[in-house]
A and B are shown apart, each in its own frame.
Chain A
Amino acid sequence: MPLSQIPQIPYIPYMPDYQDMTACQIAEYVKAGRMSAVDIARQALALAQSEGHNLNAFITLCEDKALAQVATVDKKVRAGEFVAKRASRRTGNSAEISAGALAGVPIAVKDNISYTGYPTTCGSKMLETYIPPFDATVMERLIDAGAVIIGKTNMDEFAMGSSSETSYFGPVKHPLDPKLSPGGSSGGSAAAVARGIVPLALGSETGGSVRQPASFCGLYGLKPTYGAVSRYGLVAYCSSSDVIAPFARTAEDLAVLYSVIAGHDMRDATSLAGDHPDYISCLKTDRKFKIGIPKQYFAWELSCQVSPVLNQAIESLEKAGHEFYDISLPLTNKAIATHYIIAPAEASSNLARFDGVRFGFRTAGETDLKQMYLRTRSEGFGDEVKRRIMLGTYVLSAGYYDTYYLKAARVRELIRREFENAFKEVDLIITPTTPTPAFKLGEKLKDPLAMYLCDVFTVPSSLAGVPAISVPFGTVPAADSSLKLPVGVQFIAPYMGEKALFQIASILEHLKE
């Protein structure tokens, strides 16, 4: 729709800056007619164009559809559709949220989540021109809740990386220092939220791709229970671990965004049925948690860099009446090896469809089928993707399957049980999110193993399928500058235990103040 045709809402003398507001506040203001969704969207798009460009946070801006969406939102506001109404259950969302929970809230979405009308590139040359003909389930739910999709964010190619540097479209820069990485693979989404372009964003998690950048950028990042959010429309990397995951600047915003996207979906066979509690009203709680401290996560030598923040968090929580227990998760140090067998194995199969036959990149001028396959995939994929495809192909090949894949699958089952047993004793587990604060761009690019080890604290819960959250709590001094870098604290909860995660995040949020 051309700009001139978008109806303007009446002039309001006082208009706060949306950048200073939480998503919940924005939605309230928009629904009350005190802020124009059109104006917010225009500002967000402008910021995405300027600041977003500096950070290389976006691959595509969705201006046309965003402006059409805000027009609809403002129209609904004037028609009074958002007044005291519960959300429709049309999309099958079982979480209780108010209608228009995200009315007029600008949001950024990782570029591996399908959205019609714009390319879904996965940060790859392979899909530079691929425009999906269908929306991911989460996109339908966001739009249904009144959210405004500002753009698709930059990421490690096919979500394979922990620094957002393997993108075909160049690395994402940290909002605090352009020489630093915002983390990855959902680095674009994290940078966009941290810089204030949008209050919310969606990323995706396979082994830490939201929690790690959330920790690096001082954000709240949730890895939901596997299956709690529909994967329909999420371009698969490791199907048995992949989960769409939200970023926010406050615990409440995170809970709202999660409420909007969570819930059963008929189009995803691994999607979980069952009701979700009201995550927003339960945020305020007097509950005292029993929290486990797994010694294996603290024995890690690198973690001493972030341990002051951890200790501070533990101290504050203890003072507030929460109890801490020493627990043991002995399989923790097997998790990285297990993950880097299972994830590449599934990736080698999931990425087979990028063959140049039907969509996306195809090498020019090749007439022989086999050569076309070889050249398309050699030219279309970056190094890290090729490395993982080769790893995965190897561990699944005849004669090696039992030694690698099958063994990894068994270890995974043991890790799952280890968490299950731990949660018989405690409500939550506290760990660092990452061993270090944000590192420099280029620092680990040439050392894949060092890069893989970034996920050492996040991968175990990914393998187990249990939910986990990264809560920003304090900073540590950067090694070679006067900057103070944010550090996150991770909490892991039992299966479908997101409620406790939001509560502990909210508790810490207040303790910080």
Chain B
Amino acid sequence: MTVYEGYKPVIGLEVHAQLTTDSKMFCGCKVSYGASPNSRTCPVCLGLPGALPILNKKAVEYALRMILAVGGEVALHSVFTRKNYFYPDLPKGYQISQYSQPVGRGGEIKYSLENGRTKNCRLNRIHLEEDAGKSLHPSSKERYTRLDFNRCGVPLIEIVSEPDLKSPEDAYSYLNKLKQILQCLEICSADMEKGHLRCDANVSVLPKGKKKLGVRTEVKNLNSFKGVKRALKYEIARQIKILRAGGTVKPVTLWWDENRRAARLMRTKETSEDYRYFPEPDLWPLAIDMPWLDSIRRSLKELPDHKYNRLVKQYKIRPYDARILAADRLLADYFENVIACYNNSRDVVNWITTEILGILDETNESITEFKISPAMLAELLKSIDDGIISGRTARQVFREMAATGNSAARIITSRGLRQITDKKVLLKEVDKVITANPKQVEKYRSGKTALLDFFIGEVMKSTQGRANPELVSDLLIQLLKK
């Protein structure tokens, strides 16, 4: 690549994903976003003296889903560890995490770049840990910080990649794929802007031809996909600039400021924290039994790559369409639910990729909020096949269905949109058009048969599009011959 002339960026990502369990990792408090501050807390997650953690099995199950999905190795025996540091939103003065014996090791994530090229990023580890609370600094005028412990103790998995990503674009696509997998497994909402996903990046640059990795820096506070790209570009450029000037990169931790589009120094290696990890004595080591693991493996949701292959094979749809569906599990589910009632995959996929995605884009809704159920869409498509409405009318009906949630049949009846197939009625309309356009009739009869479409159009116009086009065509051909 020419952008970094002479240098190769090397990037590894550490992604924290908030798990969507009902309750927190070590207590029964509900996980909920937007609840009033500190209303979702108890002695355990507030770290009151004498309170003790009890592990949420669901959180472990979610972590196992992820490890299995990326082909990682599940440790049947792993250890919770205390990571000790002082911060006001960390009530116990330590975070319960995993360190030298994580629950998952290895695995990989395949991702595609925008140009369609597929790449692979190996994973180092996946481990479980609890989230901290939130410090809110309302304004510079107020001489205090507000603490909200609702988030404290929410289960997280940390997904640590190997330094296999070679550009900000790689990182961007990797994150997108990670998001798809997390959503597909139904373990994380994966909305980075809402903080469900948080990302730290380890960055170094390697002069071309050299083998030994350069000094790496860590960039924190990356909280949007685009922000990750921007921050990485910034940091790579900064490091290359230092090296070109003959300097050396220092192993520092940087804080990305999205507003200023710049990173500031957070800490140097000399002042880095010593977390004094040691095994959490309040919890026994985590033992996972094989039958449970097998049952999780069996119930694992289909992953995007598998889904893509299956959709192409099973429904014979175009790869382009299959990729769109496979990237969004809910959209793919919608597709398959329609197919269950209406077996024409080409038609269905066209309606989804053009009409439905178009409307969702306009209304900014998700497919789950969409008012037309798969069965309702199938009914609409059937009424085209049955000649009840024309394809053109169908689009009009579809719009109204999406807006009101009413069924196709109801809209067709109440608006009188049913196709006219009665020959007597159509004959009358055809007659009217022929009588009203003597010149065109003349031309048609003298050989300009292409004018047939004009006559069909006129009949459709006079019937507000309700006339059955095939019947109209047949009648016109008959009558114009005379």
> Which A residues have a C-beta under 8 Å from some C-beta of B?
112-114, 120, 122, 127, 130, 132-134, 136, 231-236, 238-240, 266-270, 345-346, 348-349, 351-355, 357-359, 367, 369, 373, 393, 396-398, 401, 405, 409
Contact = CB atoms under 8 A, between A and B. Distances in A.
B127 interface: no
Contacts of B86: 352, 355, 373
Given A134-B43, A352-B86, A346 B281 contact: yes
Contacts of A236: 49-50, 282
A359 B54 CA distance: 23
B284 interface: yes
A393 B52 CA distance: 22
Interface in B54-86: 54-55, 82, 84, 86
A346 B82 CA distance: 10
Contacts of A358: 46-47, 91, 147
B261 interface: no
Interface in B283-340: 283-284
Interface in B182-205: none
B105 interface: no
Contact of A114 (B49, B54, B94, B283): B49
Contacts of A397: 274, 276
Given A269-B54, A355-B86, 13 more contacts: A122-B49, A127-B49, A232-B51, A232-B52, A236-B282, A266-B54, A270-B281, A348-B84, A349-B94, A353-B49, A354-B49, A359-B48, A393-B276
Contact of B276 (A122, A240, A396): A396
B93 A353 contact: yes
Nearest to A133: B43
A207 to B, nearest CB: 15
A351 B283 CA distance: 18
15 contacts: A112-B50, A133-B43, A134-B50, A235-B49, A268-B52, A270-B52, A270-B281, A345-B278, A352-B84, A353-B47, A355-B88, A358-B47, A358-B147, A398-B276, A401-B278
Nearest to B280: A239
Most buried by A among B43, B46, B93, B277: B93
Contacts of A268: 52
B143 A234 contact: no
Contacts of B122: none
A373 B279 CA distance: 25
Contacts of B274: 397-398
B281 A239 contact: yes
A150 to B, nearest CB: 20
Contact of A270 (B50, B84, B284): B284
8 tightest A-B contacts by CB? Answer: A352-B93, A396-B276, A239-B281, A240-B281, A235-B49, A233-B50, A114-B50, A398-B274
B457 to A, nearest CB: 76
B230 interface: no
Contact of A269 (B91, B92, B276, B284): B284
B58 to A, nearest CB: 16
Interface string B128-158: 0000000000000001000100000000000
B55 A269 contact: yes
B469 interface: no
A136 B49 CA distance: 10
A354 B94 CA distance: 12
Most buried by B among A114, A353, A355: A353
B51 A134 contact: yes
B93 A355 contact: yes
Contacts of B284: 269-270
A367 B281 contact: no
Most buried by B among A235, A352, A354, A397: A352
A349 B314 CA distance: 57
Nearest to A120: B49
Interface string B217-240: 000000000000000000000000
Contacts of B84: 348-349, 352, 396
Interface in B328-355: none
Contact of A132 (B50, B94, B278): B50
A185 to B, nearest CB: 16
Contacts of A239: 281-282
A238 B440 CA distance: 100
Contacts of A393: 276
B276 A348 contact: yes
B106 interface: no
B51 A349 contact: no
B53 interface: yes
B450 to A, nearest CB: 83
A22 B147 CA distance: 51
Contact of B48 (A133, A234, A240, A373): A133
Nearest to B26: A269
Given A345-B278, A397-B274, A397-B276, A357 B49 contact: no
Contact of A134 (B47, B48, B92): B48
A353 B93 CA distance: 5
Interface in B91-115: 91-94
Nearest to A127: B49
Interface in B9-52: 43, 46-52
B379 to A, nearest CB: 51
A369 B144 CA distance: 10
A269 B52 contact: yes
Contact of B53 (A266, A269, A349): A269
A345 B278 CA distance: 9
Contact of A235 (B46, B50, B282): B50
A238 B282 CA distance: 10
A357 B88 contact: yes
Contacts of B277: 396, 401
A354 to B, nearest CB: 8
A376 B406 CA distance: 66
Nearest to A231: B52
Contacts of A234: 50
B39 to A, nearest CB: 15
A48 B82 CA distance: 41
Most buried by A among B46, B281, B282: B281
A369 B88 contact: yes
A261 B47 CA distance: 24
A130 B47 CA distance: 13
A352 B275 CA distance: 12
B42 to A, nearest CB: 8
A267 B92 CA distance: 17
Contacts of A267: 52, 54
B278 A349 contact: yes
A267 B282 CA distance: 11
B283 A269 contact: yes
A120 B143 CA distance: 31
Contacts of B82: 349
A268 B283 CA distance: 9
Nearest to B27: A267
B284 to A, nearest CB: 7
Given A133-B43, A353-B92, A369-B88, A232 B50 contact: yes
A396 B280 CA distance: 13
Nearest to B83: A349
